[in-house]
């Protein structure tokens, strides 16, 4: 499948629906709580003033639902898990969520938030959720994510790379050792991932023409007419498209439909009536007043992260620490390498120097998905040990990569509940850590591995560094 010219392709599409629906969505969404099960913490990248919890015992879920919020997130980090582990996790979580909803008499809608480049445990996670929380009229797939340049039209998913739109299956993301795939055409992707259980011809779609010319009313009619238990693809190539779909889904639910959503991050903000642009926050909002240096921790291995790391290091002024992946996987060298890195990191931060800790850039993987996940877990465990070895609170903390930022938050910093302040950059969420954490009140930047320009990370660190300098006398 060939790539496309982005400008020419978008110019040929029909104009977006003319009416702003966000205010209506915001009002309608208050009738229930959207519970977002996030398979890594980057899913908070479009919202503001929303809670995220990292445990899912019934008491925690009851406490969240008791406040009748329009939305909250549960961080499962399930993309880092093997299938059996994510199956058990989702069974437990779904049962607890059903019990908590019954105890609080709060209506809930569930979104399984995963990667906008189609990596993750699909259909495993939605199948388990449907077993416990169903039946559902349909499972809805919405991988559109504007800030990451992920677009769906003609039932095909594309990733923007510069001025081109590349079919998702032709990108490095599709060659992921654990979650690779062959099809950019989403009905064919569903058939592939369900091993033929659901044929591509059986997958329903909401065409872009319907969304842009029919608006919420006609899209809601199409949703209401879906066969029970079907899978439906949402085409979306602009923020208004996903907002119109969200409005239609709310209307269909008011009329009695029940849907299970498998989404990228864009749907959540649209559903609760938030504009991602309004969620942008200034660096002053999430850096602390400490004189210590700021910390950037990079575990993501995707090519975009490597380019961003190179651009950051080229700006100079940081203490750079590279952890050899080969050393981290070696049981003999691992502890001594980590001890040396922890000592260097703490000394640099204490002296006020911004510090960058990164894993080496050569990808170590396996043709076997389970082995690849195990390699990733061992590397992540090493990064957790490093974070646990922090002796001073950094002025800011940027964690680069989904699994890296999740494990750092929960296991390294002890996060059980945090508040999403907004976004440091489009698609880059900022959390305010709770009182139970290693560094209460710390501004924690969850920087996805595959988001932003090559200079985005360098620009953010520069802004944080400049904001810490005293102004002119």
Which residue spans of the chain are classified as CATH 3.40.50.10840?
4-277
Q: Is 49 left (phi over 0), alpha (psi -120 to 50) or beta?
A: left
Q: In this structure, what token pair is assigned to residue 252?
A: 């269909």
Q: What average pLDDT does the segment 90-116 reach?
A: 97
- Residue 52, pLDDT above cutoff 80: yes
Give the burial string for 50-69 (b: 16+ CB within 10 Å, else e).
bbbbbebeeebbbebbeeeb
The answer to which of 105-119, 128-142, 214-228, 417-431 has the lowest mean pLDDT is 417-431
pLDDT tens track for 203-222: 999 999 999 999 999 999 99
Highest mean pLDDT among 37-46, 197-206, 305-314, 450-459: 197-206
d(CA 25, CA 300): 35
Q: Who wins on pLDDT, 212 or 281?
A: 212
Report the percent of the chain where pLDDT is more than 90: 76
Number of C-beta neighbours around residue 244 at 10 A: 30
3-state helix, strand, coil in the chain (%, to 5): 45, 20, 35
CATH superfamily, with its number, for domain 4-277: Putative sugar-binding, N-terminal domain (3.40.50.10840)
Highest mean pLDDT among 207-216, 446-455, 464-473: 207-216
Q: Cα 96–102–106 angle (5° rounding)?
A: 105
Element (H, E) at 416: none
| Prediction pTM value | 0.89
Ranges of H-type helices in 325-368: 325-328, 334-350
Candidate CATH numbers 3.40.50.720, 3.40.980.20, 3.40.640.10, 3.40.50.150; the one for domain 283-467? 3.40.980.20
The answer to which of 15-29, 119-133, 372-386, 395-409 has the lowest mean pLDDT is 372-386
- Residue 181, pLDDT above cutoff 90: yes
Q: In this structure, what token pair is assigned to residue 437?
A: 């954490």
Which residue spans of the chain are classified as CATH 3.40.980.20?
283-467
Q: In this structure, what token pair is assigned to residue 423?
A: 């976004």
Question: How many helices and strands in the chain, by DSSP H and E?
Answer: 15, 19
């Amino acid at each position: 499948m060939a790539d496309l010219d982005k400008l020419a392709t978008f110019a040929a599409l029909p104009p977006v629906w003319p009416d702003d629906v966000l205010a209506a969505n915001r009002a309608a969404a208050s009738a229930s709580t959207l519970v977002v099960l996030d398979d890594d913490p980057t899913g908070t990248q479009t919202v503001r003033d929303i809670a995220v919890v990292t445990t899912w015992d019934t008491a925690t879920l009851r406490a969240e639902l008791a406040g009748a919020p329009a939305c909250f997130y549960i961080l499962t980090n399930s993309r880092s898990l093997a299938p059996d582990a994510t199956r058990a996790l989702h069974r437990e979580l779904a049962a607890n969520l059903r019990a908590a909803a019954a105890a609080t008499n709060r209506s809930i809608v569930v979104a399984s938030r995963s990667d906008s480049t189609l990596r993750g445990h699909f259909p495993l996670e939605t199948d388990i959720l449907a077993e416990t929380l169903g039946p559902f009229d349909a499972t809805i797939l919405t991988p559109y994510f504007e800030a990451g340049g992920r677009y769906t039209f003609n039932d095909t998913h594309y990733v923007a790379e510069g001025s081109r739109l590349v079919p998702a299956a032709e990108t490095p993301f599709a060659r992921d050792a654990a979650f690779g795939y062959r099809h950019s055409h989403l009905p064919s992707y569903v058939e592939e991932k369900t091993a033929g259980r659901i044929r591509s011809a059986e997958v329903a779609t909401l065409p872009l023409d319907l969304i842009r010319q029919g608006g919420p009313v006609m899209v809601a009619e199409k949703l209401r007419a879906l066969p029970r238990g079907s899978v439906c693809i949402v085409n979306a190539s602009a923020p208004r498209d996903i907002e119109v779909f969200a409005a239609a889904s709310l209307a269909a639910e008011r009329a009695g439909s029940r849907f299970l959503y498998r989404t990228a991050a864009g749907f959540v903000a649209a559903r609760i009536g938030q504009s991602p642009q309004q969620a942008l926050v200034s660096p002053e909002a999430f850096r602390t007043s400490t004189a210590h240096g700021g910390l950037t921790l990079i575990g993501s291995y995707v090519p975009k992260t490597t380019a961003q790391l190179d651009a950051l290091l080229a700006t100079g002024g940081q203490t750079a620490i590279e952890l050899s992946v080969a050393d981290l996987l070696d049981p003999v060298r691992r502890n001594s390498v980590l001890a040396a890195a922890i000592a260097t990191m703490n000394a640099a931060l204490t002296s006020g120097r911004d510090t960058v800790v990164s894993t080496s850039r050569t990808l170590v993987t396996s043709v076997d998905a389970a082995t690849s996940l195990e390699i990733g877990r061992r590397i992540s465990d090493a990064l957790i040990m490093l974070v646990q070895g922090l002796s001073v609170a950094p002025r800011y903390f940027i964690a680069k990569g989904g699994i890296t930022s999740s494990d750092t938050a929960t296991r390294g910093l002890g996060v059980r509940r945090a508040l999403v302040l907004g976004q440091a950059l489009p698609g880059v969420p900022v959390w305010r850590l709770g009182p139970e954490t290693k560094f209460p009140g710390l501004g924690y930047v969850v920087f996805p591995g595959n988001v932003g320009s090559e200079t985005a990370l360098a620009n953010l660190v520069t802004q944080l560094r400049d904001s810490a300098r005293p102004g002119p006398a």
